[in-house]
Amino acid sequence: MALNLVVKVHPVVLFQIVDAYERRNADSHRVIGTLLGTCDKGVVEVTNCFCVPHKEHADQVEAELNYAMDVYELNRRVNASENIVGWWATGNEVTNHSSVIHEYYSRECREPVHVTLDTSLAGARMGLRAYVCVALGVPRGKQGCMFTPIDVGLTYYEPEIVGLQLCQKTIGPGGRSRQVQPAVDLAQVADAASRLSGLLDQVVQYVEEVLSERTTPNNAVGRQLLELVSALPDLASASFADAFAGGVKDLLMVVTLAQLIKTQLQLNEKLTLLTSQ
């Protein structure tokens, strides 16, 4: 059953793991922590995590389990839907101490997953892997376990896509990082409309080339285009233009009200400071 699990990791989890690795103690070669999220129908969705201080010796592992439970209880007060789904570690391999740590998380949740993130950038990539522990042995004999790889990938909410696109802009030419300010609401709408227009142009060009027999048709693309067209409401061009204009007016009204409220709060803050002086 555990081998059929699929792990979906949100980008914020990767950022938290990297941040914990950068803040590690000088004598720590590996960082571990708890994975939080949900498990439904064989899909483990990891939405949050936190670091657990620990020390690894040659023959034992010391972890601050009381600290881990305190942080988990505090997180439950903020988001009760997030449960323990496994644990994470930096590096690209499973060590001898991994089975001991995994045994603890087996008592905290059913079928915990183990995720590794290669923060050393071996091969110029930050490798992401996921494992489950499968019991091995013979009846009434010595028992053991083996970490077996399972499918892992990234997933994201729509707001996270905006954040990832903004982070991508910070990478300048030559690998140098730079600061980028978030765009205002209207600029984001204009940018999204421009990208959408470019994609529609590509679709129209592909359809025209297929109709003129200059390109071999792809059945999979055709089915996706049919689903896309069927999902759109059947509106006349004039009705669509009116609906679009109404949506734009509503957006502009919301942006204007937000700017007015922001300006009023700033004025109140400055007046409060002047009054206190």
pLDDT in tens, 210-231: 999 898 888 998 899 888 888 8
Per-residue HEC secondary structure of 169-220 comes to HCECHHHCECCCCCCCHHHHHHHHHHHHHHHHHHHHHHHHHHHCCCCCCCHH
The reported pLDDT for the residue numbered 2 is 59
**Using 50, 70 and 90 to split pLDDT, how confident is the model at 3?**
low
Closest-CA residue to 30 (of 38, 20, 40): 20
Quick one: average pLDDT of 194-205? 90
The reported pLDDT for the residue numbered 174 is 54
Q: Has residue 208 got a pLDDT over 80?
A: yes
Q: What is the mean pLDDT of the chain?
A: 85
What proportion of the chain, given as a percentage, has pLDDT over 70? 91
Q: Has residue 4 got a pLDDT over 90?
A: no
The reported pLDDT for the residue numbered 205 is 92
Compare 18 and 277 and report the one with higher pLDDT: 18
C-alpha triplet 47, 167, 178: angle, nearest 5°: 145
Q: Has residue 1 got a pLDDT over 60?
A: no
How far is the C-alpha of 129 from the C-alpha of 151, rounded, in Å? 8
pLDDT in tens, 32-89: 999 999 998 889 999 999 999 988 877 788 888 899 999 999 999 999 899 999 999 9
How does strand 43-52 pair with strand 6-9? parallel
The reported pLDDT for the residue numbered 141 is 61
How would DSSP label each residue in 74-106?
HHHHH-TT-EEEEEEEESSS--TTHHHHHHHHH
Quick one: average pLDDT of 85-99? 87
The reported pLDDT for the residue numbered 178 is 66
The reported pLDDT for the residue numbered 228 is 85
DSSP letter assigned to residue 42 = T
How would DSSP label each residue in 101-143?
HHHHHHHHSSS-EEEEE-TT-GGGS--EEEEEEEEEE-TTS-E
The reported pLDDT for the residue numbered 275 is 81
Lowest mean pLDDT among 14-28, 151-165, 177-191, 222-236: 177-191
Quick one: average pLDDT of 95-121? 88
Q: Has residue 196 got a pLDDT over 60?
A: yes
**Using 50, 70 and 90 to split pLDDT, how confident is the model at 117?**
very high
The reported pLDDT for the residue numbered 175 is 53
196 burial (CB, 10 Å; 0-12 / 13-18 / 19+) is exposed
The reported pLDDT for the residue numbered 248 is 81
The reported pLDDT for the residue numbered 13 is 93
What proportion of the chain, given as a percentage, has pLDDT over 90? 31
Quick one: average pLDDT of 149-165? 85
